[in-house]
């Protein structure tokens, strides 16, 4: 560790350690904020990618309108830090959770996305009981086939029912274009059907006299194309703050834009053609790579000829058989993970660094908030 009175260096950290290059992060934050300003889009970053109130506040200071979270536990962490405009982009189901949601709404402006009358009714009941108002976005399924309504008539019927409930305000639409995490060509092709659905739903809502204040789209892969989506006036990118190997794979970031990486140590090289590092699935997560068969688990900055070809919990299995680099036990490597959100969720702290110097240690306060 650091000597007394001297700065803490990356080389002082025990591995595995998750470090964030603060300069790269700031550049990522600025770029997205600038794009949103230039296109007159509201920015509401999804904080699942970092789960750290201080970083949410950096996003707000760059001009974000509010933040996005998935779960109530994440909202609580952000609210406790003083953030008061929060979208829960996840269906809140059941009386217990609806009650907690209404509790949050006594302290902040809360918007929730949903796709069922069951969810809306329970939220209305609890909001009424606490005499608070909760804004509602109707989730559309634009093709990812996860949550959301995919039919314009069903969407309008549900929107009308929501508008008729007490203490909830129908504010518009939300969608998550997860199937557009793909190449630029594929994104452009798939966008046609998304826009077609958005046009139809917006037309029908207008016809039904239901005003739409917000159309919330986004995600990092499509973020810089948001102005090409019909009606979208708010976006919710998450990963852009750090980027990751999958964002490089789909062409929306360069390796140099990846702010977060894992510092790891070679712990064994006794098996021929292999080097084993101390970053396994407990460090990187098992989330797959966007390209090929999906079964490589990170980009090794020091050696593009080697592959992280397998993860067990505590071991990263590097295939170095195609590499001309010499590996030795005890040396350190830097790995950019496939999926930054799931990597962050494995860790209690992240280190913010400038060059070799550790400037900040963040607690990942929203880690593991599955409820």
**Footprint of a second copy on 194-233 (CB under 8 A):** none
Applying CB under 8 A, the span of 2-10, 79-87, 143-151, 249-257 interacting with a second copy comes to 143-151
The only residue of 79, 119, 134, 165 in contact with a second copy, by rule CB under 8 A: 119
Phi, psi of 124, deg, nearest 5: -60, -45
Question: Is residue 16 close enough to count as binding a second copy by CB under 8 A?
Answer: yes
Considering only the C-alpha atoms of the chain, give the largest distance between any 2 of them, rounded to a whole number of Å. Answer: 70
Applying CB under 8 A, the span of 20-28, 214-222, 226-234, 343-351 interacting with a second copy comes to 343-351
The only residue of 166, 313, 324, 326 in contact with a second copy, by rule CB under 8 A: 313
Question: Is residue 282 close enough to count as binding a second copy by CB under 8 A?
Answer: yes
Contacts of 210 (CB under 8 A, 6+ apart): 156, 159, 160, 163, 170
Residue with tokens 């494995």: 346
Q: Select 26 or 331, whichever has its Cβ closest to a second copy.
A: 331
Cα(59)–Cα(345) distance, integer angstroms: 19
Question: Is residue 124 close enough to count as binding a second copy by CB under 8 A?
Answer: no
Question: Is residue 157 close enough to count as binding a second copy by CB under 8 A?
Answer: no
Q: Select 82 or 368, whichever has its Cβ closest to a second copy.
A: 368
Helix, strand, coil percentages (3-state) for the chain, rounded to 5, are 35, 25, 40
Question: Is residue 78 close enough to count as binding a second copy by CB under 8 A?
Answer: no
Retrieve residue 214's tokens.
């917000």
Q: Select 48 or 62, whichever has its Cβ closest to a second copy.
A: 48
The only residue of 141, 157, 160, 227 in contact with a second copy, by rule CB under 8 A: 141
Question: What is the side-by-side order of every strand in the sheet holding 67-69?
Answer: 42-43, 234-235, 214-217, 168-175, 134-140, 109-114, 85-88, 67-69
Retrieve residue 253's tokens.
């970031």
Question: Is residue 15 close enough to count as binding a second copy by CB under 8 A?
Answer: yes
Q: Select 129 or 188, whichever has its Cβ closest to a second copy.
A: 129
Question: Is residue 307 close enough to count as binding a second copy by CB under 8 A?
Answer: no
Question: Is residue 244 close enough to count as binding a second copy by CB under 8 A?
Answer: no
The only residue of 145, 301, 304, 357 in contact with a second copy, by rule CB under 8 A: 145
Cα(284)–Cα(119) distance, integer angstroms: 34
The only residue of 61, 82, 84, 94 in contact with a second copy, by rule CB under 8 A: 94
Question: Is residue 29 close enough to count as binding a second copy by CB under 8 A?
Answer: no
3-state secondary structure 24-80: HHHHHHHHHHHHHHHCCCEECCEHHHCCCHHHHHHHHHCCCCCEEECCHHHHHHHHH
Cα(315)–Cα(292) distance, integer angstroms: 22
The only residue of 44, 187, 236, 317 in contact with a second copy, by rule CB under 8 A: 317
Instruction: Give the binding-site size for a second copy (rule: CB under 8 A).
Output: 59
Q: Which of 283, 215, 285, 276 is nearest to 246 (CA)?
A: 285
Neighbours of 330 (CB within 10 A): 8
Question: Is residue 309 close enough to count as binding a second copy by CB under 8 A?
Answer: no
Pairing state of beta strands 349-354 and 357-363?
Answer: antiparallel
Task: Report the interface residues with a second copy, using CB under 8 A.
Answer: 1, 14-16, 48, 70-71, 90-91, 93-94, 96-97, 115-116, 118-119, 141, 145-150, 178, 265-271, 274, 276, 278-279, 281-283, 285-288, 312-315, 317, 329-330, 341-342, 345-348, 368, 370-371
């Amino acid at each position: 560790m650091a000597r007394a009175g001297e700065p803490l260096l990356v080389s002082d950290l025990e591995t595995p350690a998750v470090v964030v290059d603060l300069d790269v992060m700031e550049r990522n934050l600025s770029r997205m904020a600038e794009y949103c300003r230039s296109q007159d889009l509201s920015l509401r970053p999804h904080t699942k990618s970092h789960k750290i109130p201080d970083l949410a506040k950096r996003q707000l200071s760059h001009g974000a309108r509010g933040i996005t979270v998935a779960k109530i536990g994440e909202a609580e962490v952000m609210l406790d830090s003083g953030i008061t405009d929060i979208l829960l982009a996840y269906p809140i189901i059941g009386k217990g959770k609806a009650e907690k949601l209404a509790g949050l709404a006594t302290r902040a402006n809360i918007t929730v996305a949903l796709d069922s009358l069951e969810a809306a009714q329970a939220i209305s009941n609890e909001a009424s009981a606490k005499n608070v108002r909760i804004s509602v976005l109707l989730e559309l399924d634009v093709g990812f086939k996860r949550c959301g309504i995919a039919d314009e008539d069903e969407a309008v019927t549900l929107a009308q029912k929501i508008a008729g409930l007490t203490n909830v305000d129908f504010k518009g639409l939300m969608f998550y274009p997860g199937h557009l995490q793909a190449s630029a060509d594929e994104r452009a092709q798939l966008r046609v059907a998304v826009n077609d659905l958005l046009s139809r739903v917006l037309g029908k809502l207008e016809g039904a006299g239901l005003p739409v204040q917000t159309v919330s789209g986004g995600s990092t892969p499509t973020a810089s194309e948001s102005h090409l989506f019909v009606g979208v006036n708010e976006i919710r990118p998450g990963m852009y703050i750090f980027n990751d190997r999958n964002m490089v794979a789909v062409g929306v970031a360069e390796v140099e834009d990846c702010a977060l990486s894992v510092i790891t140590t070679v712990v064994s090289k006794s098996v021929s053609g292999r080097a084993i590092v101390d970053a396994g699935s407990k460090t990187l997560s098992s989330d797959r790579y966007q390209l090929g068969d999906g079964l490589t688990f990170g980009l090794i900055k020091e050696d593009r000829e080697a592959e992280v070809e397998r993860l067990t919990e505590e071991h990263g299995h590097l295939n170095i058989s195609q590499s001309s680099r010499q590996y030795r036990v005890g040396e350190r490597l830097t790995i950019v993970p496939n999926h930054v959100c799931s990597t962050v969720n494995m860790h209690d702290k992240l280190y913010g660094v400038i060059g070799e110097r550790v400037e900040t240690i963040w607690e990942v306060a929203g880690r593991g908030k599955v409820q």
